């Protein structure tokens, strides 16, 4: 059984010199028709999610990333030689396209926290006024529906605000980003998580744009990170 880290058509054995992977094993390459899998030996059939293992995975993938952009597997991907070969060979053309898509680029992440109570406060106030007018004489069923109406109105307002902020962020980084993948959960404090595929030569410009955007809305709390291997732009084994 192998622990599988990533795929690349540019990785060389020298890039992995001295690296230590999961369970302290040395990663190596197995080539299948021009695409190499970075793997290490793994004796078990499942892998505990521990800090040590996750960091070992990230260490090997980052080592490759520092030289070239691979397609990373998610943490915990195990496969035998036959299954791995079958996957790479049968998916060769889509993997080649995927490698071309991420070539020379890295993933950057922007996460934003807002005060969800403040963001939805106006809807809450309006609804509370409406509910108070009828609640005194309303039965349990009517009160239930009025409360649901309040909650729905609040959700819709939050969604609208979240979409405005998503558009604002997109506009800020649009011309330095190759692709974006954005997840929004307006009802949560961490309401927006954006993954941006950025060419290596545009990284400095991207960072400057994000820094400028942070300054424009100080009431939002940002966490930016990267560069990472393009996990959000690879769909291996999916």
User: Could you give the string, one character per residue 8-37, with x where binding to another protein holds by CB under 8 A and - elsewhere?
Assistant: --x-x-------------------------
Given 1, 85, 96, 222, the residue binding another protein (CB under 8 A): 222
Helix (H) or strand (E) holding 130: helix 121-135
> How many residues belong to the site for another protein (CB under 8 A)?
44
Which among 17-25, 162-170, 171-179, 182-190 is the span making contact with another protein, rule CB under 8 A? Answer: 182-190
- Read off the tokens for 78: 């195990």
140 binds another protein (CB under 8 A): yes
Helix (H) or strand (E) holding 58: helix 51-65
Given 149, 167, 204, 212, the residue binding another protein (CB under 8 A): 149
Strand pairing category for 190-199 and 179-184: antiparallel
Name the nearest CA neighbour of 35 among 118, 98, 113, 77: 98
Which among 17-25, 80-88, 166-174, 180-188 is the span making contact with another protein, rule CB under 8 A? Answer: 180-188
Contact (CB, 8 A) for 161 and 192 = no
Phi (first) and psi of residue 108, to 5 degrees = -115, 150
Which among 16-24, 117-125, 168-176, 185-193 is the span making contact with another protein, rule CB under 8 A? Answer: 185-193
Query: Looking at beta carbons only, is 32 or 181 nearer to another protein?
Result: 181
Which among 25-33, 87-95, 161-169, 222-230 is the span making contact with another protein, rule CB under 8 A? Answer: 222-230
Cα–Cα distance measured from residue 46 to residue 191, given in angstroms and rounded to the nearest whole number: 33
Alpha carbon of residue 181 to chain centroid: 8
81 binds another protein (CB under 8 A): no
170 binds another protein (CB under 8 A): no
Shortest distance (Å) from residue 223 CB to another protein: 4
CA atoms within 13 A on the CB side of 95: 26
Given 24, 48, 136, 164, the residue binding another protein (CB under 8 A): 48
Question: Taking the CB of residue 149, how many other CB atoms lie within 10 A of it?
Answer: 13
């Amino acid at each position: 059984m192998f622990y599988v880290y990533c795929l690349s058509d540019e990785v060389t054995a020298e890039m992995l010199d001295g690296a230590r992977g999961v369970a302290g094993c040395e990663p190596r390459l197995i080539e299948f028709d021009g695409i190499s899998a970075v793997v290490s030996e793994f004796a078990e059939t499942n892998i505990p999610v521990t800090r040590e293992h996750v960091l070992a995975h990230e260490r090997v993938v980052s080592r490759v990333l520092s030289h070239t952009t691979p397609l990373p597997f998610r943490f915990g991907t195990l496969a035998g030689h036959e299954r791995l070969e079958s996957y790479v060979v049968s998916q060769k053309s889509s993997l080649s396209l995927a490698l071309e898509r991420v070539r020379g680029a890295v993933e950057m992440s922007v996460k934003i926290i807002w005060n969800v109570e403040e963001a939805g406060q106006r809807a809450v106030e309006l609804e509370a006024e409406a509910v108070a007018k009828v609640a005194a004489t309303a039965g349990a069923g009517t009160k239930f529906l009025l409360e649901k109406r309040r909650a729905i109105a609040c959700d819709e307002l939050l969604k609208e605000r979240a979409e405005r902020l998503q558009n604002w962020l997109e506009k800020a980084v649009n011309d330095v980003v190759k692709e974006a993948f954005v997840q929004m959960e307006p009802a949560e404090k961490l309401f927006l998580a954006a993954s941006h595929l950025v060419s290596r030569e545009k990284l400095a410009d991207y960072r400057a744009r994000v820094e400028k955007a942070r300054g424009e809305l100080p009431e939002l709390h940002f966490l930016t990170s990267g560069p990472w291997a393009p996990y959000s732009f690879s769909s291996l084994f999916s």
